[in-house]
Structure 1
Amino acid sequence: MNRLRMGVIGAGLWGGNHAHTFNVLPETDLVGVCDLDEGRALKMKESYSAMQAFTDYQKLISSDQIDAISVATPDFTHTPIILAALKADKHVLSEKPLATTVREAEEIAAAAAKSKGKLMIDFHNRVNPILAQVRDMIQNGQIGLAKHGTARLSNTTFVPLEMLSWAAKSSALWFLGSHLVDVLRFILADEVVRVYSVARSGTLFAAGVDTKDFHVSVLEFSKGTVVTMENSWILSRDNPSLVDFKIEFVGEKGQVQADPTHNGGLRKIVDGGLKYNDYIGITPTGATRIGGFVLESIARFVDSVVRDAPLLADAQDGLANTKILAAIEESVATGKAVNIG
């Protein structure tokens, strides 16, 4: 079997997940890694047994030794990298969001339609076992038509103040809301037609990061479901997890409630108090397999290229996601509800 020759762009935390996956799967060879910081690129090369390290993504993309790339760079940097790869007819896996403006997302979608390469967006919660079951329950009619719901995906202040060096160029909406909007579209198998949102600033600004503290949004779907969505970056660090993730739907015949934050079965008490460890996102496996939904979604990209399996999420999913997030930003700016055509 011809192995898929991969290049990973972005040597941060999530780039490490990509590099690890492509280093383990028997269908792939990790040929190249890239980061603007040469030291980080070389460290990733060594850690994941890549063949080459680059500091210029154009050189990685133009290499005839690479068939496909994955983009694990900050939210606002995706567009030029994806466009260059699609123009070179490379297959592309991109972290969310596809782009942070509708114009850029439309440009990428048009390029994807013309390219010989496939484009997949890594909306990994589509293979989160908890959320996949919620989708099945709703699509099987177990609670009837979902009439209304609440969805919360928020972080403690650790994320914008310490984890992300580029938090001021993003927000909880783009960093977290991009995941949550896709989850809602996926679970409901429906499109958002109207949004209204409010946001506030101050707490993060006072701490030196000039971005919104939170967005609270109302999403109206075409079949009638109304969901209140929260994305915050100012949760207390005393939370047992830096992520707080909850979803509930009320239907005509019942309710479904999900807490994908953790399963609650693995807890530790240390100097910082009670903490929960994730054991469904990444799980131990054999030497040539990937476990847990976080890495499984990356492996689905390989399936789509090597076995022609359906894409987990395509360019149109990414475009729809960006349109909704941009409409939320417009609603915050204008104080009015925004229709999505």
Structure 2
Amino acid sequence: MSRLRMGVIGAGLWGGNHAHTFNVLPETELVGVCDLDEGRALKMKETYGATRAFTDYQKLISSDQIDAISVATPDFTHTPIILAALKADKHVLSEKPLATTVSEAEEIAAAAAISKGKLMIDFHNRVNPILAQVRDMIQDGQIGLAKHGTARLSNTTFVPFEMLSWAAKSSALWFLGSHLVDVLRFILADEVVRVYSVARSGTLSAGGVDTKDFHASILEFSKGTVVTMENSWILSRDNPSLVDFKVEFVGEKGQIQADPTHSGGLRRIVDGGLKYNDYIGITPTGATRIGGFVLESIARFVDSVVRDAPLLADAQDGLANTKILAAIEESVATGKAVNIG
């Protein structure tokens, strides 16, 4: 059987996860990698054994040697890349969010509906073993109807100040809230119908990153569940992990509490204090296999193309996600609750 010939666009941290996965899976061949920075593209090519390096994504997409692409570029750059690939009938895996405006997300969803290529959004927490179990518990009715909940996915200031060179063009809402909104839709198997949110600025802008410090939002779901959601980029760097991730639901018959922040069984105390190492998200495996839910979700894209397995998250999931995040921004701007049609 011929292998699925892959191209990866974006040579940053997450692009490396994509390239590694496509280099290892026996069903795929990493043909091309692309980045605006030629040095980064060449380094990725060398590191992961790609055949070619590009600096123009249009040339990668137009290559008849590539069947599918993955998009691992900053939040606000996804739309033209995805549209070009779908127009060329390539299969597409995109990092979240699908797009940062509703009109762009709608344009992508319309293009996906007529393209011969499949489009999947890499909402990898759908295969996070902790959160998948929470979904099963909720859907099995173990706590009855989930009446209310809290959800927090936030970062220390390291992320906007040092990790992301483009943080001022995004926010904790788009970078983290996109994951969390999808997690809530996935766990509850329900849609958000109304949001109210407030946000504040000052800490990040004082440090030269002109974006919101945090968003605090209330999400109302159609079946009645109300979730308070926090996305912040100003947590202290003294935290043992740069991510703080917690989900809790209170139901008619009980409660569920999840802390997928870190793998608590592996800790180290070094200069700077207590640190946690991850051994669930990315797990070492044999030469022809991958491990951990972060890479597993990328492999699910391959399954959907090669074996016609269901997409982990499709264009409609991406569109719904963008609508909710855009409604949250509208609520912040107007000071009013916003209904989502």
Q: TM-score normalized by structure 2? A: 1.00
Residue 31 of structure 1 deviates from its aligned partner by 0.1
Equivalent residues in 2 for 1:316-331, closer than 5 Å: 316-331=316-331
Residue 98 of structure 1 deviates from its aligned partner by 0.0
1:249-308 per-residue CA deviation (whole Å, 9 max, x = no partner) reads: 000000000000013100001101100011100011111001000000000000000000
**Aligned partners of 1:42, 1:95: CA distance in 2, in Å?**
22
**Aligned partners of 2:58, 2:154: CA distance in 1, in Å?**
35
Residue 248 of structure 1 deviates from its aligned partner by 0.1
**Aligned partners of 2:263, 2:270: CA distance in 1, in Å?**
19
Classify the secondary structure of the residue corresponding to 1:22.
helix
**Aligned partners of 1:238, 1:275: CA distance in 2, in Å?**
9
RMSD: 0.3
1:42-94 per-residue CA deviation (whole Å, 9 max, x = no partner) reads: 00000000000000000000000000000000000000000000000000000
- Which residue in 2 is equivalent to 1:241? 241
Classify the secondary structure of the residue corresponding to 1:31.
strand
**Aligned partners of 1:285, 1:251: CA distance in 2, in Å?**
38
**Aligned partners of 1:220, 1:311: CA distance in 2, in Å?**
26
**Aligned partners of 1:275, 1:201: CA distance in 2, in Å?**
28
- Which residue in 1 is equivalent to 2:334? 334
Equivalent residues in 2 for 1:132-151, closer than 5 Å: 132-151=132-151
Classify the secondary structure of the residue corresponding to 2:187.
helix
Residue 109 of structure 1 deviates from its aligned partner by 0.0
Correspondence 1:303 to 2:303: yes
Runs (4+) off by over 2 Å? none
Equivalent residues in 2 for 1:47-196, closer than 5 Å: 47-196=47-196
**Aligned partners of 2:105, 2:16: CA distance in 1, in Å?**
25
**Aligned partners of 2:8, 2:283: CA distance in 1, in Å?**
22
Classify the secondary structure of the residue corresponding to 2:219.
strand
1:156-209 per-residue CA deviation (whole Å, 9 max, x = no partner) reads: 000000000000000000000000000000000000000000000000000000
Classify the secondary structure of the residue corresponding to 2:104.
helix
- Runs of at least 5 residues in structure 2 that lack an aligned partner in the other structure: none
Residue 100 of structure 1 deviates from its aligned partner by 0.0
- Runs of at least 5 residues in structure 1 that lack an aligned partner in the other structure: none
**Aligned partners of 1:328, 1:259: CA distance in 2, in Å?**
24
**Aligned partners of 2:170, 2:262: CA distance in 1, in Å?**
25
Residue 232 of structure 1 deviates from its aligned partner by 0.1
**Aligned partners of 2:85, 2:297: CA distance in 1, in Å?**
20
- Which residue in 2 is equivalent to 1:288? 288
Residue 216 of structure 1 deviates from its aligned partner by 0.2
- Which residue in 2 is equivalent to 1:211? 211
Classify the secondary structure of the residue corresponding to 1:50.
coil
Classify the secondary structure of the residue corresponding to 1:282.
coil
**Aligned partners of 2:18, 2:313: CA distance in 1, in Å?**
17
Residue 146 of structure 1 deviates from its aligned partner by 0.1
**Aligned partners of 1:173, 1:146: CA distance in 2, in Å?**
24
**Aligned partners of 1:272, 1:64: CA distance in 2, in Å?**
50
**Aligned partners of 2:3, 2:155: CA distance in 1, in Å?**
38
**Aligned partners of 1:134, 1:257: CA distance in 2, in Å?**
8
How many residues matched? Answer: 341
Classify the secondary structure of the residue corresponding to 1:229.
strand
Residue 240 of structure 1 deviates from its aligned partner by 0.2
Classify the secondary structure of the residue corresponding to 1:268.
strand
Residue 2 of structure 1 deviates from its aligned partner by 1.3
**Aligned partners of 1:151, 1:19: CA distance in 2, in Å?**
31
- Which residue in 1 is equivalent to 2:25? 25
1:189-247 per-residue CA deviation (whole Å, 9 max, x = no partner) reads: 00000000000000000000000000000000000000000000000000000000000
